[in-house]
């Protein structure tokens, strides 16, 4: 009788540990909340109407060159190495109601990775725009770019 109770209790403890072990808090694709181009346009319009309310911050995790060549106006360049896993939240970013991450298009692994990283680090209101810059352009969205660097060589005559 004592052995039966011991093994029953041990079995329950083991099963509980296995269930808890599966709750690692890992962020998956299923956790991501995606927005359509129309949703993004509405958020941007709301942000422009009330800049002091910090409605949305656009996070662009693409390379510095891609960011410089063209981005959603006001987007902040932020690469994955700049946001280590389990790093404390940046109060400037977390002060926005929506943190919107985008890349070039739906195939942009770095954008999805940044979305997951921000969520895993405890940021709230993180959303993913899978259409990215390509869809933004298709919808007629404004593009901001850095001025091209002056040519380092003198012009040829």
| pLDDT tens digits along 141-152 | 999 999 876 765
For the stretch 22-48, pLDDT in tens is 334 688 999 999 999 999 999 999 999
The residue written with tokens 């890349």 in the block is: 103
Domains, the chain, with CATH or none: 40-138 (3.40.250.10)
Q: Tell me the whole-structure pTM to 2 decimals.
A: 0.78
Q: Which residues of the chain have pLDDT under 70?
A: 1-25, 149, 151-157
What is d(CA 118, CA 89) in angstroms, rounded to the nearest whole number?
Answer: 9
């Amino acid at each position: 009788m004592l052995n039966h109770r011991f093994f029953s209790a041990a079995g329950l403890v083991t099963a509980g540990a296995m269930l808890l072990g599966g709750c690692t808090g890992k962020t998956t694709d299923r956790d991501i909340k995606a927005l359509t181009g129309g949703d993004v346009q509405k958020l941007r319009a709301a942000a422009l109407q009330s800049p002091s309310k910090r409605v949305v911050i656009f996070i662009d995790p693409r390379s510095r060159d891609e960011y410089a060549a063209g981005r959603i106006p006001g987007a902040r360049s932020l690469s994955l190495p700049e946001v280590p896993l389990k790093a404390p939240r940046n109060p400037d970013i977390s002060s926005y109601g929506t943190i919107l991450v985008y890349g070039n298009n739906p195939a942009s692994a770095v954008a999805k990775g940044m979305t997951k990283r921000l969520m895993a680090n405890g940021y709230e209101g993180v959303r993913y725009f899978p259409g990215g810059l390509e869809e933004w352009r298709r919808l007629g969205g404004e593009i901001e770019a850095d001025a091209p660097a002056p040519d380092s060589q003198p012009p040829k005559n």
